[in-house]
Amino acid sequence: MKILLGISGGIAAYKTPELVRLLKKAGHQVRVACTRNALELVSRIALETVSGEPVLFETFSPRTHPGVEHIDLAGWPDVVVIAPATANVIAKLAGGLADDFLTTVLLATPAPVWIAPGMNTRMWEHPATLENVRRLTGRGVRVIGPDSGELACGTSGPGRMSEPSVIVRILEEHFTRPRPLAGRRVLITAGATREHLDPVRFISNPSTGRMGVALARAARELGAEVTLVHGHLEVPVPDGVVAVPAVSAMELHRVVFEWKDRADLLIMTAAVGDYMSASPAAEKMKKEALGATLTLQLVRTPDILAELSQPGNDPSGPGNRPGERRPILVGFAAETAGGDESRLLELARQKLSRKGCDALFANDVSLTGAGFASETNQGVLLFADGCVVWVPQGTKDQVAASLLESVVASLLR
């Protein structure tokens, strides 16, 4: 694997020659890019000796071959690891700033990015730093550490960069794990649909699309070719995922049916509106003309999941055209069970039966940490064969990984 190690100006930079050595020992190609401040804390000669490559840090430097150095380097690695990642570099990465060689490479690279933070405890715990880390993880950046312990400033607490051996172990475990979805195509819907009443008003719901985006990211990491059909999102689409926008339920219906025959697995997490305006106004409705009350005529939107589950779309039989099979279908249901697990399970069973899909995940949005806009989730995954898997509360990335593991084991063997 080709690894670009980015080094910023934290005291833990002195550990990076050992990190390079361990990565090379594990069989990886390693190149180093750093900030000028980093070279005040670690020897350029030491880094070049252990890596066998020149250390790059100047945006404008003499060139021995044609090309733009930061663009060339950005396209080289399979993964970028920033260690240590200072509060300053984390803030720049979160804000999309590119004011030196390292941050310019980071903005230009299509490779996945990992950061190993290293800084003073107060800097790590500052709300701005924590918010920047949340923004980065929402974009798919992975974080290793930081650890707690004695810091160079003489204090003790969280903020110490993880040891080089730990960083290497975590990278190895991640990139050498099985990729059971390699060669599979996964279609995921996410976000909230909007049913317009007129050009400026619409009916919608609080979905942010976080769960669907987390599933898209997890499926991509398991080797799948992922397409995300999305309504309104409040989080970015992960790198390497094909994004297809669909504003309304009718648009989502059209796009899903256009793409379904290309998918092996279809996961419906989108919060699709159940009703739409019977006759949306072409121009903005003036409240002076509407009066004190407004009566709307609404009509049902298509039940996309139920339509996909029709007999003609049986996964073990022919699809809409000769020789085709429908994808395996996984539905999602946001329920209000008041914290009653037996009630949630019963609601999930009823919906699974009505929809006719292969599996259904139900979460109780009345629980703290499982509702819309939450960064965590929990619930129950129910399969058509009666198998039940309870998914404990975790981040939506953790829940996504757990759900895909269960779906792959049960439906894609």
All structural domains of the chain: 2-175 (3.40.50.1950), 185-411 (3.40.50.10300)
Confidence band of 184 (pLDDT split at 50, 70, 90): very high
Q: Pick the more confident residue, 289 or 276.
A: 276
Identify whether 153 is a catalytic site residue.
Answer: yes
pLDDT tens digits, one per residue of 56-83: 987 655 544 444 455 778 889 999 999 9
160's CB contacts (< 8 A; 6+ apart) are 12, 118, 145, 146, 147, 148, 149, 150, 151
Phi and psi for 109 in degrees, rounded to 5?
-80, 140
Q: 3-state DSSP helix/strand/coil percent for the chain, to nearest 5?
A: 35, 25, 40
Q: Which pLDDT value is given to residue 67? A: 47
Catalytic residue among 34, 153, 357, 387: 153
Confidence band of 236 (pLDDT split at 50, 70, 90): confident
Q: Hey, what long-range contacts does 51-56 have (CB within 8 A, 24 or more apart)?
A: 51/5, 51/20, 51/24, 52/24, 56/31, 56/32, 56/101
pLDDT tens digits, one per residue of 106-138: 999 989 999 999 998 889 989 999 999 988 887
What is the four-CA torsion angle of 259, 252, 244, 279, rounded to 10 degrees? 140
Q: Which pLDDT value is given to residue 313? A: 57
Confidence band of 323 (pLDDT split at 50, 70, 90): very low
Q: Which pLDDT value is given to residue 413? A: 72
398 close to 363: Cβ distance less than 8 angstroms: no
